[in-house]
Structure 1
Amino acid sequence: MDYITDQAQLTTLFQTYGVFAIAVYVVIAIALWRVFTKAGYPGILAIIPIVNTFILVKVAGYSAWMTLLYLIPIVNFIFSIFVAVRVAQRFGKGGAFAFFLLWLLPVIGYLIIGFGSAQYRPRY
């Protein structure tokens, strides 16, 4: 970055991705709002960035304290897969749906669960 134009191009790139990231976040928040409502939790909690992770872990059937596992570097990767699989099970979906649509492409997966006909089945 020897020239000021290089920095300006980089700033433009970040602005473009920033707008895209905000749009993706809004769509995920809308989808999670519906998922939380189906699971019996207040949908407004989907808007709050860290709280929505706590509620998603509770929807999966884990204790909210287990959300702290997301702070451990390699464990968070594994635990996010477990949460996706458990959320899919709670809504009557299979493992392939959980891995590909809730873990790899959560925008699509949570929209399908939230706006589809899937019903939440709590564990007794």
Structure 2
Amino acid sequence: MENSSSAAAGIGSLIYLAILVLVITSMWKVFTKAGKPGWAAIIPIYNIIVLLEITGRPLWWIVLLIIPLVNIVALIIIMIDLAKSFGKGTGFGVGLAFLGFVFFPILGFGDAVYQGPNTTDLQSFQKR
């Protein structure tokens, strides 16, 4: 019994590591497509700063990502902005937020092209 549980833990660890490597390389590709350094994907906090630059959100949004519950909403908005920056829709952005291990590889290795920060929603909101 003990051997089977340790084998399952080892397999689970390998699967987790494979998904982690896939997400990091996908994020690296997304950053590269957006004209940012790919290595920024592996630097904690700096990768969020680069993500905010790509999406056109101000740097002070880092504060929103620190506040519990607010960070969930802010992350969803950032992922929707990221999707729109690559010409994808809101549904794709929600997929990035909740199933990033599936949608980041699609964005990074797919044919999506970076179109610049998604400022159209910001401009229409500011005009109100």
TM over 0.5: same fold? yes
Q: 1:103 aligns with which of 73, 97, 102?
A: 97
Q: State the partner residue of 2:73.
A: 78
Aligned-residue offset at 1:23 = 2.7
Deviation at 1:18, TM superposition (A): 4.6
Match of 1:56 among 51, 55, 69: 51
Cα distance in 1 between the residues matched to 2:16 and 2:59: 26
1:65-103 Cα distance to aligned partner (Å, 9 max, x none) = 312211100110100110011001100001111112x01
Spell out, residue by residue over 1:35-70, the C-alpha distance to the aligned partner (whole angstroms, 9 max, x if none).
001111000111123322221222111123312211
| Matched residue type, 2:55 | A
Verify: 1:113 aligned to 2:114, yes or no: no
> Which amino acid letter does the alignment assign opposite residue 54 of structure 1?
I
Identity of aligned residues (%): 35
Unaligned runs of 5+ in 2: 120-128
How many pairs does the alignment contain? 115
Query: 2:112 & 2:76 partners in 1: Cα distance?
Result: 20
Q: Is the 8 A contact 1:33 1:45 kept in 2?
A: yes
Matching residue of 2:82: 87
Where does structure 1 differ by over 4 angstroms across 4 or more consecutive aligned residues?
11-19
Q: How far apart are the structure 1 equivalents of 2:44 and 2:12?
A: 19
Distance 1:95 1:103 in 2: 11
Does residue 46 of structure 1 match 2:24? no
Residue 29 of structure 2: aligned partner: 34
Inter-partner Cα distance in structure 1 for 2:8 and 2:43: 26
Distance of aligned partners of 1:12 and 1:45 in 2 relative to their CA distance in 1, 3 Å threshold: same
Output the TM-score relative to the length of structure 2: 0.77
